[in-house]
Structure 1
Amino acid sequence: MLYFDCFSGISGDMTIAALLDAGIPVDVLEDSLHKLSLNQDYELNVSRVVKNGISSLSFDVKAESHHHHRHYHDIVQLLEESDLQPSVKHHAVEMFRLVGEAEAKIHGKPINEVHFHEVGAIDSIIDMVGVAYSLIIYK
């Protein structure tokens, strides 16, 4: 059983780090992420850190540009055209749909007009797909 106690929130990179610390091999995660056709170079950085006396893994994505803006339909197309397993695609699309619906509501626009800023960047896509893969496929 996996339990997250997110009393003050959690980010995508923190979630990936926790899943890696729980035993998901980095190379397995990297292999799954290569199934995305991101057309952009990136590097995954995993290291052990100690914060306030607590040891954990740190996960970070280094990419040439963190501020690539994408629309919801662009991200769905990227995921649908990937070689990811169907269940991972489905869950990743659902995760982006939920974020898109929240953004659409906040900005008073239909979901297909929402411009993802941070969530459309490569590091956020890797975080969401990595979490979907880790929770769905690698149990």
Structure 2
Amino acid sequence: MRIVNGKKSKIWDDPWICEVPLVKWPTFIDCNQLEKLVYVQELFNESGWNGQLIEKCFGDDLKNKIEIIQVDMEGGDDHWIWKDSKLGEASVRSAYWHLKSKEDLSVESDVDWRKIWNLKISQNVKIFIWKLMWGRLPVSD
């Protein structure tokens, strides 16, 4: 999400600090102070971010993350951007590569899948190995 003027971005419901909205975070913040605030714009003062209010509501660590976010008070409205695209627009291709990069992190990179697929074993066993390595086996807890 790109914060421009903060008028349309909701503090709790929109992912304006990182990829997860605050409503889904553990409560390490002063929720009583934030109950009165709705839009990100309410965290601004005349010169930009209101550091004292942000620190009171979110603490020092989140304050540092928030103050890094650049705002442009006269640049229009807030809008969604797709971080995995040069133009900031989502496409099937960029979504595919985004998900592919996430998958690659979950399996050790030293697995040579060509060797596994070329083994002289049943195709079912190969698929079982693949599912096992990618955590795709249907099991119950």
TM-score, structure 1 normalization: 0.28
**Comparing both structures, which one devotes a greater share of its residues to strand?**
1
The structure with more radius of gyration? 2
Whichever structure has more helix as a proportion of its residues is: 1
Structure 2 length as normaliser, TM-score? 0.28
